[in-house]
Amino acid sequence: MAEGLTARGIDVTQVEMLPEVLPTVDVDLGALVRAELVRQGVDVHTDATVTGISRAVQGLFVEGRDKAGALLVWNVDLVLVVVGVRPDTDLLVRAGAATSPRGAVVVDESMATGLPHVWAAGDCAVTHHRLLGTTYLPLGTTAHKQGRVAGENALGGRARFAGSLGTQVVKVFDLVAARTGLREHEATSAGFTPVSTTATPDDHKAYYPGATPITIRVTGDSQTGRLLGAQLVGARGAEIAKRVDTYATALFHEMTVTDLTELDLSYTPPLGSPWDAVQMASQAWVAEHQRDAERSTLGQP
C-alpha cells in the first residue's frame, strides 16, 4: 500500500474521487481531516479515480488515474471499497411498492409503504428530514429510530418518525468531525437564505492545561436568524460528538442562532467556558450577520 506508515504500523493509501476527503462537510473542513490522515502517515490521493483491481502473480494491484489522467498503480494486500449506498428494494418493488428517484422505498412518517401490512425502515427507505422534507439519507441512527416506529406500528401502534437532521460524526485517528442540519448549498436548495460564520473557540478555558481549538461553522438563515446547521472539527477529547448534539437539539426546536446563546449549558474550566464553544461560535455568527436592531432583541420576551 504505497509509502506512508501509520502509527499502527500498516501502510495505508486512500484514493478519493472527489476533491477532498469526507465530502459530508465543507471542503476546507475536509482538508483538516485530510491533514490528520497525512499526519498519521496515510497516503491520500484526492481527485483520483480507481479504474480497476486485478490479481497478478506478484499480488493484488489497484489501478487508477489522477486528475490529469496519469496512471496510478498500487501493489496492495487488502482493498476496502467504499463507494456509497444504493437501496436494494427489489422484493418490495415487485410487491408493488413505490420508490423515490434515488430508488428508496417511499414511506410516510409512520413508515408505512402503502402496501397493506408492510412497513419499511432503514437504508432501503426514504428519510423524513425535519428541514428538507422527504429525502434519502441512510444513517444508522435513523435506521434504529425508523425501525422502532415501523415495529411499533406493525404491532398496531400509532408511532411516527420524528425526522432526521442528518446528524453525524466520525473519528479519524485523533480528530473528530461532526455535522448536523444543512450546509449552505443544501440550505439554498431548500429555499433558505443561508449565511455562515466560522469560529475557532477553545474547548475549555485556556488557563487550564490541554485547551484545544474547535473549528465550528455555524449556518443560519439571514432573514429569520434561524439556525440551519453546524459543522465541527477538533481534537478527540474536545467533546465534539456531544457538542454537535446541542446544535441538533436546538435544530429540532427550530431555535434561532441568538436563542442558542441563551441556553444554560454546563461549565467548568477543564471542560468548557462560561459561554460554551457552541455558544461562542453562535455569537460570532450573530455579530457578523445580525443587524444591530436585531441584536438588541437578545432574549426576546
| Site residues (vs its own copies, CB under 8 A) | 109, 130, 139-145, 148-149, 152, 157-171, 176, 178, 180, 237, 239, 241-246, 248-250, 252-253, 259, 262-268, 270-272, 274-276, 278, 296-301
- To its own copies, the closest distance from the beta carbon of 213 in angstroms equals 16
Query: CB-wise, 65 or 236, nearer to its own copies?
Result: 236
- Gap between the Cα atoms of 125 and 139, Å rounded: 11
Neighbours of 146 (CB within 10 A): 24
Query: CB-wise, 5 or 271, nearer to its own copies?
Result: 271
Query: CB-wise, 158 or 291, nearer to its own copies?
Result: 158
- To its own copies, the closest distance from the beta carbon of 171 in angstroms equals 5
Query: CB-wise, 23 or 274, nearer to its own copies?
Result: 274
- Gap between the Cα atoms of 93 and 127, Å rounded: 17
- To its own copies, the closest distance from the beta carbon of 293 in angstroms equals 11
- To its own copies, the closest distance from the beta carbon of 255 in angstroms equals 8
Query: CB-wise, 12 or 178, nearer to its own copies?
Result: 178
- Gap between the Cα atoms of 75 and 43, Å rounded: 13
- To its own copies, the closest distance from the beta carbon of 81 in angstroms equals 20
Query: CB-wise, 65 or 160, nearer to its own copies?
Result: 160
> Half-sphere exposure (CA, 13 Å, Cβ side) for 174?
11
- To its own copies, the closest distance from the beta carbon of 143 in angstroms equals 8
- To its own copies, the closest distance from the beta carbon of 11 in angstroms equals 22
Query: CB-wise, 46 or 164, nearer to its own copies?
Result: 164
- Gap between the Cα atoms of 263 and 246, Å rounded: 10
